Structure 1
Amino acid sequence: MRSLDEILAISVERKGSEAAILQDIDPPKSAEALAAIPDDRWLSAMSKAIFCAGFNWKVVDNMWPGFETAFKGFDPAACAMMDDAWFDRLVTDTSIVRHGPKIRAVQENAVYVQEQSAEHGSFGAFMASWPAEGFVDLLAHLKSEGTRLGGTTGQYVLRVMGVDGFLLSRDVVARLIAEGVIDKQPTSKSAMRAVQAAFLEWHQSSGRSLTEISRILATSIG
């Protein structure tokens, strides 16, 4: 496995400079900043990632004000209590993407957000309490306890909200394969553990965030 500096050199050769590689990524938020994010913004981010999955992101983004209105600002208490009449209105509401299972996922994730908020004080506090070295476990928790939050959907939610972590995009996976960390798209627990170990090794040797490392790996290929 190459050092991160060696992989960065490959990226710089391809992209021109380190600044060009990292210019459009936001640094991870502090624990305090994550804890301060209201629960409705977490549910909104989850829902947006879910509706974007397999769909045109720009279309969803342009429609998002309509989503915010239709789902009552993604207030978890309101969404968790979604009744059949509200659901029926949503599946015919032209201001949103009318996808029944994804609409139902909003309700189910509202319950998930409420449960974690009740236990930890807020969903943001729950996120802030999770150590970076357990990022793979956090992804597994989102997949098992949330709805439709597995795979890259959960990873995108965490990235958008400022949690330090990696995105297993096609290019990142290609670099991990090239470095001998994995031999294919990681789906098993053992493969995900190997990915996490590699990222932590690069993190400890470089002092860079997992977010930066993820971008460096991606730009060394794509």
Structure 2
Amino acid sequence: MFLILRSPMLSSDPCHCRNRVTISKKVFARKLCRDWSCTHHRTIPLAELRLFQPCRACVSFLCTNRGMLLMRTINDILAISAERKGGEAAVLESVELSADAATLAAIPDDRWLSQMTRSIFQAGFNWRVVDNMWLGFETAFHGFDIGRCAMMSDDWFDALCRDTAIVRYPQKIRSVQQNAVFIQEHSARHGGFGRMIAEWPASDYAALLELLKKEGNRLGGSTGQYFLRFMGVDGYILSRDVVARLIAEGVIDKPPTSKSAMRAVQAAMNEWQVQSGRSLKEISRILATSCG
């Protein structure tokens, strides 16, 4: 792997710090010449940086940002997508506008629970079946009234497990109660669940996904991502094609499941947003169409 270092901190001038560190011989760096903005590079094994006795800060920066420093610009990736799909318009035509903060904040709590439940039941199941049965879900769960669902009795739960108007999946039925409590707690804390979502910074979207995974029930992985997308939140979907592009760009080396991998994904998304001013939805679409 080769890295293009874009920081004057890591120019060709040797670091004079005497804090020796151990650097993997398998990692390489493409190091800029004395004028760090110059486009002429020379390639050296990163292990040779031991000769310069680099400080820990320099090595930490290098090792934690190697994916972001290697990756193409979003415009370069868009060019790949456009060539595959027949132009930029074809790549981005299906991207819907995200809801603004005021709109998200105004969405009542029961609608957040409704979409959470819909996304959970659709996960690993035929989406069309769930869509066709959705009126039955709304009736069975009393319009997803937060207080009522949070206090679901055992008798109501047993009745739901026998209700042919919904998909009878006990674990997912129980998740409605648990997610009602989750929404209820954050709604009380923020003056509405929608307000919390609306105020969440896009630059830390990965942390929002982590919150859904940790405090919600059955909202990890793509389920939480699709839930937010369907509610109009600007975000990315880590589909197979998006992950393939992130791997190709050196951001990650396998599907991201750890917090550190998700931080790397978020850093790359933030960089691409700074470069282009595009939404996370647009960036997600560009990445996906460059591979699939």
TM-score bracket for the superposition, by shorter chain length? over 0.9
Aligned mates of 1:19, 1:182 — CA distance in 2: 28
**Equivalence map 1:79-90=2 (5 Å):** 79-90=149-160
SS in 2 for 1:95: coil
User: Quick one: which of 254, 263, 269 aligns to 1:193?
Assistant: 263
User: Quick one: which of 92, 96, 110 aligns to 1:22?
Assistant: 92
Q: Which runs of 5 or more residues in structure 2 are unaligned?
A: 1-70
User: Quick one: which of 231, 238, 241 aligns to 1:161?
Assistant: 231
Please name the residue that 2:18 is paired with.
none
User: Quick one: which of 232, 243, 247 aligns to 1:173?
Assistant: 243
Q: TM-score, normalised by structure 1?
A: 0.98
Aligned mates of 1:21, 1:64 — CA distance in 2: 31
Please name the residue that 2:29 is paired with.
none
Aligned mates of 2:210, 2:246 — CA distance in 1: 20
Please name the residue that 2:79 is paired with.
9
Please name the residue that 2:123 is paired with.
53
SS in 1 for 2:237: coil
Aligned mates of 1:20, 1:60 — CA distance in 2: 30
Aligned mates of 1:197, 1:48 — CA distance in 2: 30
Q: 1:97 and 2:170 equivalent?
A: no
Quote the offset at 1:117 in angstroms: 0.7
Q: 1:63 and 2:143 equivalent?
A: no
Pick the structure with more helix per residue: 1
SS in 2 for 1:183: coil
Please tell me whether Structure 1 or Structure 2 has the larger radius of gyration of its CA atoms: 2
SS in 2 for 1:91: helix
Q: Which runs of 5 or more residues in structure 1 are unaligned?
A: none
**Equivalence map 1:103-114=2 (5 Å):** 103-114=173-184
Please name the residue that 2:281 is paired with.
211
- Give the letter aligned to residue 253 of structure 2: D
Aligned mates of 1:188, 1:87 — CA distance in 2: 34
Aligned mates of 2:208, 2:223 — CA distance in 1: 13
Q: TM-score, normalised by structure 2?
A: 0.75
Aligned mates of 2:159, 2:92 — CA distance in 1: 43
Aligned mates of 1:25, 1:111 — CA distance in 2: 33
Quote the offset at 1:16 in angstroms: 1.1
Aligned mates of 2:288, 2:265 — CA distance in 1: 14
SS in 1 for 2:133: helix
SS in 2 for 1:187: coil
Quote the offset at 1:2 in angstroms: 0.8
- Give the letter aligned to residue 289 of structure 2: T
- Give the letter aligned to residue 88 of structure 2: E
Q: Number of aligned pairs? A: 222
Quote the offset at 1:85 in angstroms: 1.1
Quote the offset at 1:18 in angstroms: 2.0
Quote the offset at 1:74 in angstroms: 0.8
Quote the offset at 1:209 in angstroms: 0.5
